[in-house]
Amino acid sequence: MKGSIIALIGALVIGGAGGFMVGKKATSGTEAELVGDVRSASRTNASSLSYSPSTPVASEAVSRGPRVDSAEDAMSLPGQNNRLRALMDYYAGLGPSEFQEEAQKLEELPWSERIMVGYLLFARWGEEDPTAAMAYTKTMGFSGMFVKKTVVQSWASKFPQEAANYYAANAGDFRMGSMMGGRGRGGGSAASVIAMEWARQDSEGAMAWAKTLEGSDQSDAMKGIFRQAATDDPAKAAGMLSSITDDQARESAQNTIAREWGGKDWNSAKAWIAGLPSDQQEAATARALRGLADTDPAAAAAEINSLSEGSDLNDTMQSIARKWGRDDPQASAQWVMQSGNEDARAESIGSVVSSWVGQDSVAALEFVNAQPEGSVRDSAASSYVISNQGGDIAQNLRLAETISDEGMRRRAIGITATAWMRQDKEAASQYIDTTEALNDKSRERIKRFAEAGGH
């Protein structure tokens, strides 16, 4: 699969999936936890690369797909590459007056297809007629909050000042989307997205705009600017820090630099961090190690003792373990069990086991069974069951029943029972009714969830 297509898929998951995955009715409590875990169990490993409509890779992909007359035709093509290219080619040929009609057709598509089609549509609409695209998002209800950022990124990729002016006048429209998960490294708030796009064209203009913002908006915008600057030249980006007068924004920016620099040159990053104020070195070191983990997780693991116990250590261990686990889960698991404290190990081991199941489920199960009772084993066992939904149902249930944490046990059993219900409703229902691993309240919740098909 070409890098340009992989980048698009990563962006679909990060930037577009959230809003379109929201169901037509809300789910709460245990059912909501089960929904999240079912989706985690079935989701493939998507790249966290971001996509900007103005980048050359997008242009390279356009005009190489089969010619189609509608998004529906594009989605009927064999092969995901063909579909993506055909969609981009199709949307590239639309006039400004045609986008709204296409947006109205999204409701006719299955939600999984709506994610891909919707992202590409709003990214293109945001380039061609962003004010109309923004106006339409206000008619979309809850999901409109998520695609606003897609539109504003496309807008800023061409006309950052216009996008910034719109954001200033409508900042409240973007708040909920950020609170619902739009502040991750791959996503970023609207202020961060605008600033990063602007910095690609005019770093001084982007900085001048960021300084007019306040609070989290300024901090987020600085992150966007310095992420872009540090990607190009981390040493030069570090030299720009003196221009920031707000302490919070400056510390946020230097943490962003630390992460990018750590991935490029750990030794240089470490030397620079040593010159920061002593009370800021721990956070910067943690970010630099996470950056190093992006390129060499084993090397990052060897440096984990640079951090003292606390949230920075826990978060960094989890990041390293997840990335190392994709390449060598056995080595990653061994490192986790020898590092940090019990909380850090429990938070880290789940992602390792999840990757391990996909590569060698037998070895992963042996590892889980070898662990003593406690939070680390609970996390490992829960992750195994959730990740092994294509495996032996009876085995999964036996393992799930050994989880001591009630919430984890309920989720692991619930997900497995839901899958079993699709194959043998009577047997699955009988199990839920008779197992001693569940209390009556959990039985009823799981049965409602399972009978609803896991939605």
Q: What is the 3-state secondary structure (H, E, C) of 37-91?
A: HHHHHHCCCCCCCCCCCCCHHHHHHCCCCCCCCCHHHHHCCCCHHHHHHHHHHHH
pLDDT of residue 11: 42
| In a domain? residue 104 | yes
Q: Which of 113, 132, 158 is the last residue of a domain?
A: 158
3-state class percentages of the chain: helix first, strand second, coil last, to nearest 5: 75, 0, 25
User: Residues 299, 315: contact at Cβ < 8 Å?
Assistant: no
User: Residues 33, 411: contact at Cβ < 8 Å?
Assistant: yes
Please tell me the distance from the alpha carbon of residue 386 to that of residue 40, in angstroms, as a whole number. 8
Whether residue 251 sits in one domain with residue 138: no
Average pLDDT of every residue of the chain: 83
pLDDT of residue 319: 95
User: Residues 413, 403: contact at Cβ < 8 Å?
Assistant: no
Please tell me the distance from the alpha carbon of residue 121 to that of residue 130, in angstroms, as a whole number. 12
Of 399, 392, 10, 3, whose CA–CA distance to 184 is shortest?
10
Please tell me the distance from the alpha carbon of residue 356 to that of residue 442, in angstroms, as a whole number. 29
Please tell me the distance from the alpha carbon of residue 110 to that of residue 127, in angstroms, as a whole number. 25
Q: Scan for tokens 């999984």, then name that residue.
A: 112
Whether residue 123 sits in one domain with residue 15: yes
| In a domain? residue 199 | yes
pLDDT of residue 382: 97
| In a domain? residue 386 | no
Q: Between 249 and 345, name the one with better pLDDT.
A: 345
Number of domains making up the chain? 2
- CA–CA distances in Å: residue 76 to residues 72, 171, 196: 6, 38, 35
Tokens of 111: 């939600």
Of 420, 419, 421, 377, whose CA–CA distance to 399 is shortest?
377
User: Residues 273, 284: contact at Cβ < 8 Å?
Assistant: yes
* Residue 189, phi then psi, degrees to nearest 5: -70, 170
Identify the three-state secondary structure at position 404: coil
Number of residues in the chain:
455
Tokens of 421: 């219900």
| In a domain? residue 308 | no
What is the signed CA dihedral for 25, 30, 35, 39, rounded to 10 degrees? Answer: 160
Whether residue 235 sits in one domain with residue 112: no
Whether residue 234 sits in one domain with residue 134: no
Whether residue 177 sits in one domain with residue 272: yes
Tokens of 294: 């992006």
Whether residue 206 sits in one domain with residue 135: no
pLDDT at 126 over 50: yes
Of 127, 115, 135, whose CA–CA distance to 154 is shortest?
127
Whether residue 45 sits in one domain with residue 143: yes
| In a domain? residue 399 | no
Q: Percent of the chain scored above 90 by pLDDT?
A: 53
Please tell me the distance from the alpha carbon of residue 256 to that of residue 263, in angstroms, as a whole number. 11
Q: At 379, which amino acid appears?
A: S
Q: In the predicted model, what is the mean pLDDT of residues 39-54? A: 39
Q: In which band, very low, low, confident or very high, does the pLDDT at 47 lie, cut at 50, 70 and 90?
A: very low
pLDDT of residue 247: 85
The continuous run of DSSP H or E covering 378 comes out as helix 375-387
Q: In the predicted model, what is the mean pLDDT of residues 161-167? A: 95
pLDDT of residue 155: 95
Q: CB under 8 Å to 173, separation ≥6 — which residues? A: 138, 145, 148
Q: Scan for tokens 């409109």, then name that residue.
A: 144
Of 406, 428, 407, 433, whose CA–CA distance to 417 is shortest?
428
Whether residue 181 sits in one domain with residue 107: no
Of 193, 194, 133, whose CA–CA distance to 159 is shortest?
194
Query: pLDDT for 401-432, tens place per residue?
Result: 999 999 999 999 999 998 898 889 899 999 99
Q: In the predicted model, what is the mean pLDDT of residues 200-212? A: 91
Whether residue 83 sits in one domain with residue 176: no
Q: Which of 158, 183, 218 is the last residue of a domain?
A: 158
pLDDT of residue 252: 87
| In a domain? residue 383 | no
User: Residues 99, 80: contact at Cβ < 8 Å?
Assistant: no
Q: In the predicted model, what is the mean pLDDT of residues 231-249? A: 88
Please tell me the distance from the alpha carbon of residue 3 to that of residue 204, in angstroms, as a whole number. 30
The continuous run of DSSP H or E covering 127 comes out as helix 111-128
User: Residues 411, 386: contact at Cβ < 8 Å?
Assistant: yes
pLDDT of residue 402: 96
Whether residue 65 sits in one domain with residue 177: no
Please tell me the distance from the alpha carbon of residue 435 to that of residue 250, in angstroms, as a whole number. 55
Q: For 122-159, b where at least 16 C-beta lie within 10 A, e where not — what string?
A: bbbbbbbbbebbbebbeebeebbbbbbbbbbbbbbbbb
Radius of gyration of the chain (CA): 24
Q: In which band, very low, low, confident or very high, does the pLDDT at 175 lie, cut at 50, 70 and 90?
A: confident
Q: In which band, very low, low, confident or very high, does the pLDDT at 450 lie, cut at 50, 70 and 90?
A: confident
| Cα atoms in the Cβ-side hemisphere of radius 13 Å centred on 326 | 14
Give the range of the structural domain holding residue 253, as residue numbers without chain letter: 160-295
Whether residue 145 sits in one domain with residue 16: yes
| Cα atoms in the Cβ-side hemisphere of radius 13 Å centred on 1 | 16
Q: Which of 158, 184, 210 is the last residue of a domain?
A: 158
Whether residue 165 sits in one domain with residue 102: no
User: Residues 334, 361: contact at Cβ < 8 Å?
Assistant: no
Highest mean pLDDT, choosing among 103-112, 183-192, 315-324: 315-324
| In a domain? residue 53 | yes
Please tell me the distance from the alpha carbon of residue 153 to that of residue 51, in angstroms, as a whole number. 9
| In a domain? residue 137 | yes
Tokens of 84: 């993506």
Q: In the predicted model, what is the mean pLDDT of residues 209-216? A: 89
